[in-house]
Amino acid sequence: MTIKSSVNPEQGDLAFTRESDRGIIPEASWAGALSFMRRRETKDLTGVDVAVMGVPFDLAVSSRSGTRLGPRAVRSGSSHIAWSNPWPWETDPFEQLSVIDYGDCEFDFGYPEKVPGEITAAAKAVLDKDTALMSIGGDHYITYPLLRAHVEKHGPLSLVQFDAHTDTWEDEPGRIDHGTMLWHAINEELVDPARSVQVGIRTHNPNPMGMNIIDAIEVHKTGPAAVAEKIRAIVGDHKTYVTFDIDALEPASAPGTGTPVIGGLSPYQAQEIIRSIAGINVIGMDLVEVSPAYDISEITAIAGATLVNDLLCLYAASPSGQR
Predicted confidence (pLDDT) per residue in 270-294, tens digit: 999 999 999 999 999 999 999 999 9
What pLDDT is stored for residue 172 in this prediction? 78
Q: Which of 67, 315, 35, 290 is nearest to 43 (CA)?
A: 35
What pLDDT is stored for residue 6 in this prediction? 54
Give yes or no for residue 3 having a pLDDT over 60. no
Residue 300: how many CB atoms within 10 A of its CB?
Answer: 29
- Pairing outcome for strands 99-104 and 158-162: unpaired
How would you list the strands of the sheet with 99-104, edge to edge? 99-104, 50-55, 132-137, 282-288, 240-245, 158-162, 197-201, 212-215
Give yes or no for residue 235 having a pLDDT over 90. yes
Rounded CA-CA distance 283/237 in Å is 12
Rounded CA-CA distance 116/99 in Å is 25
Give yes or no for residue 112 having a pLDDT over 90. no
pTM of the complete model beyond 0.75? yes
Total number of residues shown for the chain: 323
What pLDDT is stored for residue 9 in this prediction? 66
Q: Domain map of the chain by residue range?
A: 52-321
The number of helices, as runs of H, and strands, as runs of E, in the chain is 10, 8
Q: Which of 54, 72, 51 is nearest to 119 (CA)?
A: 54
Q: Give the three-state DSSP class for 135.
A: strand
* CATH node for 52-321: 3.40.800.10
Please give the DSSP secondary-structure letter assigned to residue 40: P
Q: Which of 150, 182, 187 is nearest to 281 (CA)?
A: 150
The percent helix, strand, coil of the chain (3-state, each to 5) is: 35, 15, 45
Give yes or no for residue 5 having a pLDDT over 60. no
What pLDDT is stored for residue 114 in this prediction? 92
CA angle 119, 239, 140 (to 5 degrees): 35
What pLDDT is stored for residue 175 in this prediction? 79
**Under a CB-based contact definition with an 8 Å cutoff, are residues 86 and 313 in contact?**
yes
What pLDDT is stored for residue 2 in this prediction? 45
Mean pLDDT of the chain: 93
Give yes or no for residue 123 having a pLDDT over 90. yes
Give yes or no for residue 109 having a pLDDT over 90. no
Stated as kind and residue range, the H or E segment containing 187 is: helix 181-187
